[in-house]
Amino acid sequence: MTESEGFVLELRDIHKSFGDVHVLRGIDLKVRRGEVVAIIGPSGKGKSTLLKCIDLLEVPEQGSVIFMGKDYVPSARHRGLKLRANADLRNLRTHIGIVFQQFNLFPHRTVVQNVMMAPMLVLGMKETEARERSVAQLEKMGLQDKTNAYPSTLSGGQQQRVAIARALVMEPQLMLFDEVTSALDPELVGEVVNEIQRLAEGGMTMLVVTHHIGFARHSGSRLVFIDEGTIVEEGPPGDMLDHPREARTREFLRRILI
């Protein structure tokens, strides 16, 4: 895999509809290695769908998802004998980590089993090796006491950190965060944001859909405002938050900063 002109990810004219609802209406976005792109915008206007389209959990009707120089949309659209196409999609998803708003941990597996699953099933690691690597990842995130607990016994913040560990253990090239603090109690937001901030400082390339303007301002290398399925405005976070050019951006920021 090669990066095309230094871009890890390039989205070209992404369109996605659900029935009559045209959720994404032509998204173009390029992400360089090490960039932290913060995505803001009103709820239900396509931000989560965009992240799912990047991982091809949702397949865009139109456009390209070019990751490390390869367009994966044709594989996702492939009909008929799917083996080759499925292998392509697995390759994409193995290199992209995604963390969801609702954690989506596997409730029937312990914390460490949640993290070990992909290293064993996808990378073909032996159980001892996968466990070692998973425990090390959990330790980095301060979850060493929780390895054998079931997700339901953890706080929301802890569950979300396990979900981050589960994605990171695969050593992804790109991380996608989908409003990962929105389902948390206010006092638990900090521990999760800190974790993401640490990753950003470590040079991880990431797209972060967030309502956390503080995070966008301080950790984002770029801010993107999405409304009605299109990118309305993008730029350096500081400039854009203080001097938004577009009326819609101003309106949105005014509403959420009250």
Partner 1 sequence: MSLRFDLVLESAGWLAQGLAMTYFVALVSIVVGLALGLIFATARSSSLLILRAPAIVYINFFRGLPLIAFLIWLYFGVTVAFNFQLSALSAGIACLSIQASAYLAEIYRAGLQAIPQAQTQAALSLGLTPWQAFRTVRFPQALRVIFPAIGNEFIGLIKGSALVSVLGVFELMRSTQQRVLFYQLPLEFYTTAALLYIISGIGIGRLFLIIERRMQT
Does 72 sit near partner 1 (CB under 8 A)? no
State how far Cα 155 lies from the chain centre: 21
Does 1 sit near partner 1 (CB under 8 A)? no
| DSSP line for the chain | ---BTTEEEEEEEEEEEETTEEEEEEEEEEEETT-EEEEE--TTSSHHHHHHHHTTSS--SEEEEEETTEE-HHHHH--SS-HHHHHHHHHHHHHEEEE-TT----TTS-HHHHHHHHHHHTT---HHHHHHHHHHHHHHTT-GGGTTS-GGGS-HHHHHHHHHHHHHTT--SEEEEESTTTTS-HHHHHHHHHHHHHHHHTT--EEEE-S-HHHHHHH-SEEEEEETTEEEEEE-HHHHHHS--SHHHHHHHHHHH-
For 24, phi then psi, to 5°, come to -110, 130
Q: Kindly state the smallest distance separating residue 257's Cβ from partner 1, in Å.
A: 31
**Nearer of residues 143 and 169 to partner 1, judged by Cβ:** 169
Which of these segments, 2-10, 66-74, 83-91, 184-192, binds partner 1 (CB under 8 A)?
A: 83-91
Taking CB under 8 A as the criterion, the residue among 35, 55, 191, 227 binding partner 1 is: 55
Q: Rounded distance, CA 258 to CA 239, Å? A: 19
Does 182 sit near partner 1 (CB under 8 A)? no
Does 98 sit near partner 1 (CB under 8 A)? yes
Does 215 sit near partner 1 (CB under 8 A)? no
Q: Kindly state the smallest distance separating residue 249's Cβ from partner 1, in Å.
A: 30
Q: Rounded distance, CA 160 to CA 99, Å? A: 8
Does 86 sit near partner 1 (CB under 8 A)? yes
Taking CB under 8 A as the criterion, the residue among 122, 145, 236, 254 binding partner 1 is: 122
Does 153 sit near partner 1 (CB under 8 A)? no
Residue with tokens 């083996």: 83
Q: Kindly state the smallest distance separating residue 242's Cβ from partner 1, in Å.
A: 35
Does 52 sit near partner 1 (CB under 8 A)? yes
Does 192 sit near partner 1 (CB under 8 A)? no
Does 108 sit near partner 1 (CB under 8 A)? yes
Taking CB under 8 A as the criterion, the residue among 59, 85, 117, 213 binding partner 1 is: 117
Taking CB under 8 A as the criterion, the residue among 34, 107, 190, 203 binding partner 1 is: 107
> What is the token pair recorded at 231?
């990118």
**Nearer of residues 1 and 256 to partner 1, judged by Cβ:** 1
Interface contacts to partner 1, rule CB under 8 A: 52, 55, 57, 86, 90-91, 93-94, 96-98, 100, 102, 104-108, 117-118, 121-122, 150, 166-167, 170
